Amino acid sequence: MKGKQVITDAELLDTKTNELVAIIKTGAIDADHAKIIQQKINKALKKYDNLPFNLQNDLELLLSAHQLQKATIKDRFDFETIKKYLLSIIGAVMITLGMAMIIIPAPPYFEMFTIYHFNANDGVTLMDLIALVIVFTGVYLFFSALSKRASV
């Protein structure tokens, strides 16, 4: 009967330990609260100083491996948001400049040479193709910035 009680206590301890690790991994506690929990566990395990492994160091490693500061997560989110808006603005500016290069007439020496003639006075120039590359790059930047999800 007593052996069955020990197995139940060990299973309960294992379950509670897994719950604690899951809470720590989610980052739901801050650093001060984590230190208090660590002190409580260390105090409870003090009678087991002769264990072949050092649970205190293992717990310390676990706590240090996970970011517990909510401010750090918030700063990262703000950086990602700023980056997304900045890429969107750069993409919109590139689209506008590329379209302006196509629409606004340029002097003949700036147009370089004509690749395809529609008639004697008009055609597709090398400058138009360069402007299209700028427009497509702007479209890519704009839509890739909008489609990115925040990875926090």
Helix (H) or strand (E) holding 51: none
- How far is the C-alpha of 98 from the C-alpha of 114, rounded, in Å? 18
Q: pLDDT tens digit string along 6-65?
A: 457 777 778 888 888 887 778 777 778 878 887 887 777 777 666 555 555 666 666 666
Residue 152: pLDDT band (50, 70, 90) is very low
- How far is the C-alpha of 124 from the C-alpha of 35, rounded, in Å? 69
